[in-house]
Amino acid sequence: MSRGGMLGRKVLFSLLTIFVVLVINFVLFRVLPGDPVRAVIGRNVKLSAEAQQTLREQFGLDKPIFPDQFLDTLGQWARGNLGISWSLRRPVAEILAAKLWNTLLLIGLGQVLSIVLGILLGLLAGWKRKTPFDVFALTFSLIAWATPTFWLGIILLAAGSTWLGLPTGGLVSPENVGKPLYTVLPDLARHLVLPTLTLTILYLGEYMLIMRSSILEVLSEDYILTAKAKGMTPWQVLWKHALKNAMLPIVTLIALNLGFTVSGAIYIETVFSYDGLGKLFQTALVKQDYPLLQGAFLLLAVSVIAANLLADVLYVLLDPRVKPT
C-alpha cells in the first residue's frame, strides 16, 4: 500500500477511536449519580415541580436517552457545542479554549527543554559510558524520574520564592491580569520559570534514560563498526549513523508524552496556581461540574489519539523498514 493510503487508513482508525470515546463519554455521564436540573439550580433553592419539568424539557432530558438524547448530543458536539458549565455558567468549549493556550505554553516549553536536554544528556552519557559524567547523569535522571511531581513542585516553589524572589503562583502578577500576554512578557517569563523547571526536570530523566539505553544498543551494532572502519571520526559516526537509529524509540516516547502532558499538568498547575487546563480539571472535579468534565475528557482523549497518530506517521517517515500497512 502507498504511504498516502496508509496515512488515510491511520486517520480513519483515529476517527473511529474518537467515536468510541464519544460513546463512552456519553454513557459515562449518564450513569453518574446526580440530577442535572438540581445541579443547575443549586441544592437549596426550592422550585416548583412544574418549573423543574419545564427545565427538563428545555434541556431535552425528558426524551429517551437512546437514540434521541445520544444523537442530539453528538450533533451538538459536532458543532463544537460542549454544553454549559454548571459552575462557571459559560460554554464549556469557550472555557477550554481559553485555558488550553496557557497549558500549551507551559507544557510546550517544558517538553521542548526536557526533550533537547534529555536527548543530549542521554547521548553523551551513552557515548561516554562508565565515565563520571555517565554516572552523574544516570543518577540524576533516576532520581528525577522517581520524584513525585507535586513534591518537586512544592520544593522548587519554596526554594525559588524564598531565595530567588520568584512569584509563587499564577500566570502573571495581579496587576497584569486581563492584559494580553504578549504585552507583559517579562512578567510572564518570571512566572513560568518554576513550573517549567519542574516539568523539565521531571521529563528529562525519562528522555535521558531511554536515549542512553538506545544509543548504547545502537553503538554496539555492526554498522557502527563499519562506519568507524570507513575512517569516520567518532562525532561523524555518532551524528550520521548512530543518532537516527537511536532516535526511533524516542520519537514514540515524545509523541505519547505530548498526548498525556495535558493531563500531567494537573499537579503542576495546582501547585503553582497556574491558570491552565489542569487546574480547570481539578476545579471541575471538585465541583462535580459534569459538562466541564465531559468536555475535558473529550479534549484529553482527542489529544492522546492525535499524538498516537503523529507517532505512527513520524515513525514511517524516519524508519524505512516500517512497512506502510
Q: Which residues bind another protein (CB under 8 A)?
A: 221-223, 225-233, 236, 240-241, 244-245, 318-321
- Residue 11 C-beta: closest distance to another protein, Å: 25
68/221 with CB nearer another protein: 221
- Residue 266 C-beta: closest distance to another protein, Å: 38
| CB distance 290 to 39 below 8 Å | yes
70/133 with CB nearer another protein: 133
φ and ψ at residue 39, rounded to 5 degrees: -65, -35
Pull the grid cell for residue 137. Answer: 547523569
| CB distance 110 to 200 below 8 Å | yes
212/241 with CB nearer another protein: 241
| CB distance 203 to 111 below 8 Å | yes
- Residue 193 C-beta: closest distance to another protein, Å: 38
- Residue 154 C-beta: closest distance to another protein, Å: 42
Which residue type does 127 have? W
Residue position matching grid coordinates 428545555: 58
Q: DSSP labels for 130-195?
A: TSHHHHHHHHHHHHHHHS-HHHHHHHHHHHHHHHS----SSSS-GGGTTS-GGGGHHHHHHHHHHH
- Residue 224 C-beta: closest distance to another protein, Å: 9
40/318 with CB nearer another protein: 318
107/237 with CB nearer another protein: 237
